[in-house]
């Protein structure tokens, strides 16, 4: 939800060492509709200096205008325009590396033949030893069919690979799990379920990713029933955990009692439906929901929610969450004084936070403030470390509460790169699994090597 679709380019400029040259250059970028990120001094001479400037634009046409304005700036020469995003993705962002150097014949004999045969025979006699003597205990399959990639939609599994690699990077760097992207060239739920179930022995958990609704509900449910390892569709539950934490923090900041608030969910796809379910589990109260799909409204009603029209929902609720992808869906005149508005669609929210505040909202935020990465790494770490078969609703709520506990005063959410937050989420999930009697292994907290 924290994804924002902007073009980013690094422009290398040579500027004269004359008063006002850099100031005019920054003004030219702003006047062209662009914005500037990092500025790095590359070379400084007596007469000229070279800088790399990260420039953001809405599209290619605007980027061309910005670069043209930079070139026209007196005293500036544009040397190069680079796409550092594409450069970073060259040959992919992840790789499998050996944990031990194979630097002698003695080591070779221990890690491969003949020594490895002893480990194989032990596992053949006791399959549980695979968790101790193989990488299965930290392998997570990140599975997609490419039907709901970011906000781009059905662009296919190959085009979704960069996202899966990114998820794997975050898992490894934040909690030490090894994510393995799995691209499925099928949209048939039967084939997807059969394929994932067949490869499941390789992994300690399955993360379903960017699979479109309503197919995602069936696929997750069937895999959970078949497998004895955790299966989580991140677009549902990871999003719901992080959004629930945001709602709890927003209520704290706005001085509202969540247990007494009427909550409305606009959009009941994978994320919206899971958010509604999680909030109903937390508060014990029905959530009002609206969606264009009659099937989505039926699912909400069966889960204990109340279908409503958009106008009914906006008029009757204290807290509004929107995950529709429809820019400007919420009009300022729909907002009533004191409401909490979380318009989470990216890159364009259902209503801009400032517009909601100007209309009387007590608190408003968009998807840039609510980052999914706060959820899934710690949830999987805690679930894998206790070897649960499934992640319970209570474990998800424990994760949300841990995020709230880690949120600094005055902030909506913690820093998504704060490893302490992810350790706290993992610990809370594991402790809840133990309390519920779901743990099949003694919990040993992950410590970064």
Pick from 110, 89, 114: nearest CA to 101: 110
First to last CA, the chain: 30
Q: Where are the alpha helices (DSSP H) in 205-352?
A: 215-226, 237-254, 270-283, 294-302, 310-316
Pick from 125, 10, 8: nearest CA to 59: 8
Environment class of residue 174 by beta-carbon count within 10 Å: exposed (0-12), middle (13-18) or buried (19+)?
buried
* Residue 167: active-site member: yes
CB 445 within 8 A of CB 394: no
Residues constituting the chain? 449
Please tell me what DSSP assigns to residue 280.
H
Question: Distance (Å, rounded) from C-alpha 222 to C-alpha 214?
Answer: 13
Element (H, E) at 156: none
Catalytic residue among 93, 122, 125, 167: 167
Give the other-Cβ count within 10 Å of 377's Cβ: 28
* Residue 443: active-site member: no
**3-state secondary structure at position 51:** strand
Catalytic residue among 6, 43, 112, 331: 112
Please tell me what DSSP assigns to residue 18.
S
Question: Distance (Å, rounded) from C-alpha 335 to C-alpha 341?
Answer: 8
Q: Cα–Cα distances in Å, from 298 out to 273, 301, 361?
A: 11, 5, 30
Name 105's bridge partners: none
Q: Where are the alpha helices (DSSP H) in 176-210?
A: 189-199
Catalytic site positions = 112, 167
């Amino acid at each position: 939800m924290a994804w924002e679709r902007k073009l980013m380019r690094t422009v290398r400029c040579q500027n004269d060492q004359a008063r006002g040259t850099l100031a005019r250059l920054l003004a030219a970028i702003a006047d062209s509709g662009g914005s500037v990120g990092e500025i790095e001094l590359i070379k400084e001479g007596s007469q000229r200096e070279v800088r790399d400037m990260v420039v953001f634009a809405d599209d290619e046409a605007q980027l061309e205008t910005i670069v043209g304005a930079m070139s026209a700036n007196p005293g500036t020469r544009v040397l190069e325009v680079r796409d550092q995003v594409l450069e970073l993705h060259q040959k992919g962002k992840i790789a499998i590396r050996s944990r031990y150097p194979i630097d002698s014949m003695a080591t070779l004999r221990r890690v491969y033949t003949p020594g490895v045969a002893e480990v194989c025979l032990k596992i053949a006699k006791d399959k549980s030893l695979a968790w101790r003597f193989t990488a299965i205990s930290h392998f997570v399959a990140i599975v997609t069919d490419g039907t709901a990639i970011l906000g781009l939609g059905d662009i296919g599994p190959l085009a979704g690979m960069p996202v899966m690699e990114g998820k794997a990077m975050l898992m490894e760097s934040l909690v030490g799990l090894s994510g393995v992207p799995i691209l499925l060239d099928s949209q048939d739920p039967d084939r997807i379920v059969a394929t994932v179930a067949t490869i499941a022995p390789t992994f300690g958990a399955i993360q379903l990713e960017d699979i479109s609704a309503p197919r995602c509900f069936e696929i997750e449910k069937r895999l959970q029933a078949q497998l004895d390892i955790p299966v989580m569709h991140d677009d549902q539950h990871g999003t719901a955990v992080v959004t629930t934490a945001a709602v709890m923090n927003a209520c704290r900041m706005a001085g509202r009692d969540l247990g007494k608030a009427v909550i409305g969910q606009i959009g009941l796809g994978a994320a919206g439906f899971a958010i509604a379910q999680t909030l109903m589990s937390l508060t014990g109260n029905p959530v009002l929901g609206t969606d264009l799909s009659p099937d989505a409204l039926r699912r909400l009603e069966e889960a204990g929610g109340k279908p409503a029209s958009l106008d009914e929902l906006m008029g009757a609720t204290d807290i509004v969450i929107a995950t529709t992808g429809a820019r400007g869906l919420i009009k300022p005149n729909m907002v009533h004084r004191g409401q909490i508005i979380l318009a989470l669609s990216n890159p364009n929210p259902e209503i801009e936070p400032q517009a909601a505040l100007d209309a009387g909202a007590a608190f408003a935020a968009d998807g840039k403030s609510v980052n999914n990465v706060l959820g899934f790494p710690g949830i999987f770490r805690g679930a894998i470390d206790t070897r649960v078969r499934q992640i319970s609703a209570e474990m998800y709520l424990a994760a949300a509460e841990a995020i709230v506990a880690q949120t600094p005063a005055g902030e909506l959410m913690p820093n998504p790169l704060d490893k302490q937050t992810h350790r706290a989420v993992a610990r809370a999930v594991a402790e809840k699994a133990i309390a519920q009697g779901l743990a099949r292994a003694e919990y040993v907290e992950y410590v970064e090597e």
